[in-house]
A and B are shown apart, each in its own frame.
Chain A
Amino acid sequence: MPNSQATVIDRHANTVVVHVLADRLDEANLSAVGDDASAAGAESPQLAVVLDLARVGFLPSLSLGGLVQLAQLFKARGQRLVLTGLQPAVRTTMAITRLDRLFEVKDDASKLQT
């Protein structure tokens, strides 16, 4: 189970939760987060991957492309990717850029875990 400095990963019965540790997703850490999420999903292809962004206070526009590529990767695998823990500023960015329509977003992903 990959565990870089960018994320902490928890495994549950039905999900793999990738907790993002940084307070913003940007060029410095987006690649590592994407790699961790991708690897976690590849190790457990039958489970949904939950990307926990509870600590992320800001999503710069430069990182949106990376998130979209991650979504496209999971879609190509036929694996579910869920975003959770969105702070208000991140929600706003997702709404303005209409990415909230490209991603599955859950306020509470715990129900997926059992």
Chain B
Amino acid sequence: MVIARLESALERVQRDFDRSAAGLVPLAQSLLKRPSLFLSKILMATILTGDREPGQVAVSSCLALEFLEQALALAAAHNESVEFNEDCLLVTDYFYAQAIDQVIGLGKPEIIGVLAGAIMAAAQDRAIGDYADFRKRLVGAALEIGFFLGEISGVWVSSLREATTSRFDGREPWIGLFPAGSIRDYLQEALTPVTQS
């Protein structure tokens, strides 16, 4: 039952993402990749762990994370290429702005703070030459927003926070820190191919 709710919430995210994508500037549309919903799965699963129903705030937060992933993926691909590409830089900036725009009207400055912090942390990582999984900062952000919206606390929350900050490389077995149950099983199955890539 909870997995059905999770998948229903993810369908809303996909629909809203497609709607947002249709309104993007054409150059940005051309560089947009199909969203993996990796981060949306984490956020929604976390909220449902607290037995809260993910509402529009959660959906908008997911969209913000998906746009941040698009931005960082583009930045990572660009970094690996030989030549500087002006379009990539401009579209990355645009995706950052899109991400913030998704959550601006929600009246939740805490969420803006988490997303902004993720942008800063990811930029700092790259500035010091740390190009490990660019998603790692976003995983932390997805969890934090999930904790906040799900009003979740507890020892496992502290453990997860600790596991997904500082030395987290995106591949640590953090999923195992979720409480045992269908949500953890879902995440193990849904996310393992991504975390192992």
Are A and B associated in one complex?
A: no
